[in-house]
Amino acid sequence: MKRILIIGANSAIATACARRWAMQDAAFFLVARNAEQLAQTASDLTARGAKVVGTHCLDVTDFAAHAAMLTACLGALREIDIALIAHGTLPDQKTCEQDADLAAKAFATNATSTIALLTLLANQFERQGAGTLAVISSVAGDRGRPSNYVYGAAKAAVSTFCEGLRARLFKAGVHVITIKPGFVDTPMTKDLELPAALVATPDQIARRIVNGVERKTANLYAPAFWAAIMLIIRNIPQPLFKRLNL
């Protein structure tokens, strides 16, 4: 039985991943901020045959509360086979440009909190000598674009942190997978005008993640075509890039 910790368990992608893992005989410890929605997520998984051994409410920006969450998780699961970090927000870029406090809060939610959680979890996984840390970053972190560079900077920090952590934990028999979704049809993106041909469903992303965890992929673009798109974007010369409205 897979023992799985999910942080940000109420997110659309995390829920879709959990439903897929539930078909593979899994025990879950679910963490999210909204208690009512968390109870609904737990009930949904239980109805699908999964074993939910515990839930925990957490504000990820309350760094002092992270250790208590992990203690509760280990009390329920004993050890963790897979930890999926899936929380995040999509800040309004224009508002962040005018409000430094909002920009800092967005960075704290999308980067600093993830780095703090990964630091705590990495030490636990290193002690175990096994397991997979799966972290949802974003294609937005591959290059700073004017349309979302606050969010992109946070995800770039997460991706770089994961790259170093992957090299560190490899020696301990632990794998780190960085997940880079493109446009996904979720409540977080519902007000955005996105090109329909490039928008994936949460379940399509979940299928890639579950398979990627199994294969021990290092960097997982979801859907796969984003690897080619971001290769092109990363290689646009700076003199041209700064003139584009991306």
Q: Give the tens place of pLDDT for each residue, 50-76.
A: 999 999 999 999 999 999 999 999 999
Query: How far, in Å, are 22, 100, 106, 158, 212 from residue 177 at the CA level?
Result: 20, 31, 23, 11, 8
**118 occurs within a structural domain:** yes
**103 occurs within a structural domain:** yes
Query: Which pLDDT belongs to residue 145?
Result: 96
Query: Which pLDDT belongs to residue 183?
Result: 95
Percent of the chain's residues with pLDDT above 90 = 93
Nearest CA among 12, 10, 52, 61 for reference residue 34:
10
**84 occurs within a structural domain:** yes
**115 occurs within a structural domain:** yes
Q: How far apart are CA 202 and CA 40, in angstroms?
A: 18
**75 occurs within a structural domain:** yes
Residue 202: DSSP 8-state: H
Q: How confident is the model at residue 184 (pLDDT cuts 50, 70, 90)?
A: very high
Over range 124-140, report the average pLDDT: 98
Lowest mean pLDDT among 88-97, 129-138, 193-202: 193-202
**25 occurs within a structural domain:** yes
Query: How far, in Å, are 24, 185, 198 from residue 36 at the CA level?
Result: 26, 23, 32
Query: Which pLDDT belongs to residue 243?
Result: 95
Where in the sequence is the domain holding 84, given as residue range(s)?
A: 2-241
Tokens of 77: 């699961």
HSE-CB at 235 with a 13 A cutoff on CA atoms is: 6
Q: How confident is the model at residue 189 (pLDDT cuts 50, 70, 90)?
A: confident
Q: How confident is the model at residue 195 (pLDDT cuts 50, 70, 90)?
A: confident
Query: Which pLDDT belongs to residue 192?
Result: 80
Q: Structure pTM?
A: 0.96
**246 occurs within a structural domain:** no
**205 occurs within a structural domain:** yes
CATH number at residue 149: 3.40.50.720
Over range 32-56, report the average pLDDT: 96
Number of domains in the chain: 1
Q: How confident is the model at residue 185 (pLDDT cuts 50, 70, 90)?
A: very high
Number of Cβ atoms within 10 Å of the Cβ of 35: 12
Give yes or no for a contact between 101 and 150, defined as CB atoms under 8 angstroms apart.
no
